[in-house]
Structure 1
């Protein structure tokens, strides 16, 4: 009978591993800065959520832009993340930070809306957990709390982030016609109505599949240990 055991995966090179640890650690620190600013502004600023975009919007835009590296990581095989879902998630964030909030930072319904804060809180917590988890795991640690948050927190964080994103895009449809042109208004409308729902579904179900895979692995390892 043929041996059906899979061959062990080749060990990651120290150079690639070191690069990924550095990338994830830096990204975690940057998102923690964004999240801290959002919380501090909401709690301490006289105008609360209305001051979040003026104080944090530019930083968030460039921190999120850095995440475009993850598309290259997936494309070049540096990480095992699927290219399609990675591209979809990064592109949807780009659409927000470059195509919506960067255009309307002072609009009461967009950049100065509490929904902008709720979106950044969802993004910030998600990314601090994700990047910290990967940085520590690649460094040889097993962060149990971060592992739990990574594969359970998305139940709340994803719907909060996705609904906030969709709301901001929807509210930008009207202002876009005046600021850019009617074509851009129709483009945003088509995106939020026709593209966003299936994309959000794919990303959410991808995380559900990842969670099931991880939970099965934990259960199998637990059974072996007994």
Structure 2
């Protein structure tokens, strides 16, 4: 086994364990009938670390370790990270919003499938059912998670307008102004377009991965 192959297998296996733990934490909270805020506060710290670590996937793509687009990987990482770290985490009221649980639930459910599939595929031992799940479950989970992200950003707008975090006013030595509240408004407008770009790529990948298998099955 090559060093690169071993590294990718270990990375994906570690992410798989982490996301499965996060998903289990969410499910446990629901079973125990905990409040939305309690469930979020239990799962969010681990999910935050896992999300931060997933920046490595952009590096993997940039170095050619995996056949993925660095730009697509960075777009997905940036979208999630902005919503989690810059919008939801600092606004305590959003921790009890049902959209926050939907977002974390969709993320963790998708990644609990995706990372084991990546790890198994890296080792050349991925069962067909796991590949099918990887390229099928994103169909409902990705749009549902995206809608939750948009709902949270929209709900955060009044707070962002009042506090003006991450903003830079003129005059300053850079002669540049940035208003995070306005940025989020623009992002909400662009989000469906950016989402569709990523979603359509996944649909094409699904057709490529599963389409061939379906044709072979029909011939048999």
1:201 maps to which of 189, 196, 199: 196
Residue 220 of structure 1: how far off its partner (Å): 5.3
TM-score, normalising length from structure 1? 0.86
SS at match of 1:152: coil
How far did residue 127 of structure 1 move? Answer: 0.6
Instruction: Give me the CA root mean square deviation.
Output: 1.8
Q: Matched residues in 1 for 2:212 and 2:129: separation? A: 17
Q: Deviations over 1:95-143 (max 9, x none)?
A: 1121111211x20xx2211111111111111111110001112223232
Cα distance in 2 for residues equivalent to 1:82 and 1:46: 40
Alignment of 1:71-110 (within 5 A): 71-104=58-91, 106-107=92-93, 110=94
Displacement of 1:198 after TM fit? 1.0
After superposing the two structures, state which structure 1 stretch, 214-223 or 155-164, moved more.
214-223
Tell me what 1:3 maps to: none
Displacement of 1:223 in angstroms is: 6.9
Please list, as runs of the form range in 1=range in 2, the aligned pairs for 1:177-188 lying within 5 A after superposition. 177-181=161-165, 183-188=179-184
Mapped contact 1:45–1:51 kept (Cα < 8 A): no
Unaligned 5+ runs, structure 1: 1-12
Q: 2:14 is matched with which residue?
A: 26
Tell me if structure 1 keeps the 8 A contact 2:132–2:210. no
1:45 is displaced (CA, Å) by 4.5
Q: Which runs of 5+ in 2 are unaligned?
A: 168-178
Which residue number corresponds to residue 10 of structure 1? none
Query: In the alignment, is residue 68 of structure 1 matched against residue 55 of structure 2?
Result: yes
Deviations 1:201-223 (A, max 9, x none): 10110111101111233245547
What is the Cα deviation at residue 43 of structure 1?
A: 2.3
Query: Following the alignment from structure 1 to structure 2, what is the Cα–Cα distance between the partners of residues 27 and 98?
Result: 19
Q: Given the superposition, is the C-alpha separation of residues 134 and 176 from structure 1 closer, same or farther in structure 2, using an over 3 Å criterion?
A: same
Instruction: Judge which range, 138-147 or 184-193, deviates more.
Output: 138-147
Query: Residue 135 of structure 2: SS of its match in structure 1?
Result: helix
Find the residue that maps to 1:142 and give its secondary structure: coil
- C-alpha spacing 1:145/1:216, structure 2 compared with 1 (3 Å): closer
Q: Which residue of 1 aligns with 2:150?
A: 166
**Cα contact 1:100–1:169 (8 A) shared by 2:** yes
Give the TM-score normalised by structure 2: 0.88
| Deviations 1:37-56 (CA, angstroms, capped at 9, x unpaired) | 11111221442x22122222
Aligned residues: 208
Q: Distance in 1 between matches of 2:70 and 2:146?
A: 20
Note if contact 1:50-1:114 (Cα within 8 Å) is conserved in structure 2: no
